[in-house]
Amino acid sequence: MIENNKSKQDSEKEGGEIIVVKNLSKKFGSNVVLDNISLGIEKGKTTVIIGPSGCGKTVLIKHLIVLLRPSSGEVYYKGVRIDNLPDDKLNKVRTNFGFLFQGGALFDSLSVAENIKFPVKQHYKVTERSGLDELVKTKLSLVGLEGYQDYYPAKLSGGQKKRVALARAIALNPEVILYDEPTTGLDPIRSDVINELILKLRQGLGPTSIIVTHDMTSAYKIADRIIMLYEGKIIADGDASHIRNHPHPVVQQFINGRIGEDDLAVLRASGTIFQTQYLPRDFEK
């Protein structure tokens, strides 16, 4: 039940797709992680990528900015093939992207302001200090952290760190923002703050957003389109209601958070652990 999104792709105007992936495969040794994936990402839209842990979501979005090179296949940005560019040319292409890494890693030895300035300094020869300070101020207010310039990451909560990482990701006013698990590890309220920020950014700068998440509440809230990866392929692709009503049992299992047969087999095989999870009071009347 592999979805055929070819016809959809063909019907969309070339200009509407800011990123195009053609027949992308990625292997690590004998481990085939991505298996002949083709995908067009529409400009200005929010695309959410879901799928079980280890299915290749991070590997896929790393290919979109060529942090990983394909084993075979091609990646295009605005109609230009980028997967085969040398590093110096890639760095230029990457200035169009903001990337919120899984875990939202900030540089612990740098202040909040220095963290946000980092991508700007990396890509441009900056001589004017005041301009950068102004930029930090604007980005911090966008994520609701006015006045946090001189804090160090160690003094911030998980949610605040993610927001600083988001401020850093948008420092260069990117056309495309890639978010890898932006709400993982946050409680539902803090997750919702991040979701609201993603929605707010979309109205403000109008970037194209690609978001990897396990969190279906977030996915339904922010996505124009949801793509599910499974065993190296796209098994579902459409809007929230398409995904909710999708007939593929793996899709239903994933979105409803039910445990699969494979997982059950693992639990059964580890019988003693399984049994000790029950406390005596579980058996009391």
Ligand X SMILES: Nc1ncnc2c1ncn2[C@@H]1O[C@H](COP(=O)(O)OP(=O)(O)OP(=O)(O)O)[C@@H](O)[C@H]1O
Residues that bind ligand X (CB under 6 A): 28, 31, 33, 51, 53-59, 102
Nearest approach, Cβ of 68 to ligand X (angstroms)? 7
Nearer to ligand X, 35 or 192 (CB): 35
Nearest approach, Cβ of 56 to ligand X (angstroms)? 4
With contacts defined by CB under 5 A, name the span among 9-17, 40-48, 50-58, 163-171 that binds Mg ion.
50-58
Nearest approach, Cβ of 267 to ligand X (angstroms)? 19
For residues 262 and 277, what is the distance between their CA atoms, to the nearest angstrom? Answer: 19
Nearest approach, Cβ of 119 to ligand X (angstroms)? 22
53 binds, among Mg ion, ligand X, none (CB under 5 to 8 A by kind): ligand X
Burial (Cβ within 10 Å: 0-12, 13-18, ≥19) of residue 130: exposed
55 binds, among ligand X, Mg ion, none (CB under 5 to 8 A by kind): ligand X
Q: Which of 21, 22, 33, 58 touches Mg ion (CB under 5 A)?
A: 58
**Quick one: CA dihedral 254, 256, 262, 267, positive or negative?**
positive
Q: What is the 3-state secondary structure (H, E, C) of the chain?
A: CCCCCHHHHHHCCHHHEEEEEEEEEEEECCEEEEEEEEEEEECCCEEEEECCCCCCHHHHHHHHCCCCCCCEEEEEECCEECCCCCHHHHHHHHCCEEEECCCCCCCCCCCHHHHHHHHHHHHCCCCCHHHHHHHHHHHHHHCCCCCCCCCCHHHCCHHHHHHHHHHHHCCCCCCEEEEECCCCCCCHHHHHHHHHHHHHHHHHCCCEEEEECCCHHHHHHHCCEEEEEECCEEEEEECHHHHHCCCCHHHHHHHCCCCCHHHHHHHHHCHHHHHHCCCHHHHCC
Nearer to ligand X, 111 or 213 (CB): 213
Nearer to ligand X, 56 or 98 (CB): 56
227 binds, among ligand X, Mg ion, none (CB under 5 to 8 A by kind): none
28 binds, among ligand X, Mg ion, none (CB under 5 to 8 A by kind): ligand X
Nearer to ligand X, 102 or 149 (CB): 102
Nearer to Mg ion, 58 or 209 (CB): 58
With contacts defined by CB under 5 A, name the span among 53-61, 73-81, 199-207, 218-226 that binds Mg ion.
53-61
Nearer to ligand X, 26 or 94 (CB): 26
With contacts defined by CB under 5 A, name the span among 55-63, 87-95, 141-149, 237-245 that binds Mg ion.
55-63
What residues make contact with Mg ion under the rule CB under 5 A?
58
